[in-house]
Structure 1
Amino acid sequence: MQCPRCQHTSTRVLESRVPKDGKSVRRRRECIRCSFRFTTYEKVEETPLLVVKRDGTHEPFDRERLLTDINRACEGIDAMQGRTKGIVDEIERQLQRRADGEISQSDLADLALSALRRHSEIAYLRFAIAYHRYQSLQEVEELIAALNALRVHPPREGDASLAVSS
């Protein structure tokens, strides 16, 4: 670490602390040459996430867009008040664990649907109807039937989300 005062490259760490957010390390340092004390912060550099769209193009993952879509699906559902940000945090953590930093649009929708299904069937239905662009009542009825079937035979841990073709 280079001293901000004399630019000497040797410093020693006097103290290290992890702030409340747990996502960085605060270090108090001292220059070996001039004894100037300063503070540095270390943070893990996260891989930028890319979403592969249906047409094959790539675009950066937009957390706010996902939050808006999930909020729209949860509108008017009292039990979902204040939960949407946590749902998006959960999805984003799953995305950060991916080695390649890419996710298809359909896989991202599946993650959102899986999270919504655990919290609210109505929000799940709204999101699925909007994402899959259902055009008929029959398609929606099939989705509801599949959701009801899950109540009778819940998926085992690790099974994929409710798969519905569009």
Structure 2
Amino acid sequence: MKEKALKRYAHFISILLNIVCIVFGVLSVSLFAGIVVIVCARLFLPEMFRQAWKTAVKAGQTLSFGQCAFFFICCLGMLICIFLALYNAKRLFGCIGKGNSPFTAETASQIRKIALYVLVFAVFSAFSVFKMAFSQFFMSGLFALVLFCISLIFDYGCELQQEVDETL
């Protein structure tokens, strides 16, 4: 009975994560396109870019082009990390939703990848203009460490599953 509930909930979560992945994928591609447009405008249309920049400075926006580019690249990095973490979570729940055992080497690997993306997200957040507080950075790092430990637990569960399968 619990196996059916797990399969049903995992399938539902997989569908939700699929929708959210699409949203973050579209946001990432849109931001990348915006960065390319801004950089190309500066390179190929310098006069138009200078005019737009003067208008922005008159409006009270005083960031340099380098600061803006760095900010947008950090935002793109954060969006990509979120997308990749969600994508791996979708794959993990999709596999469980199909009725496969959660105790596989692939599951542990996907949890480790999610931990890595959470950690890289925290680094991008710390470098961006958002200025993530140390406590938030610490909590993100701690969450990544917990996920890594959970992946080790799943590795151990995978070994036990193989032993049980071999004795049968």
TM tier, smaller: under 0.3
Please give the TM-score of this superposition, normalised by the length of structure 2: 0.28
Structure in which a larger fraction of residues adopt helix: 2
Larger RCO: 1 or 2 (CA < 8 Å, sep 6+): 2
Please give the TM-score of this superposition, normalised by the length of structure 1: 0.28
Larger radius of gyration: 1
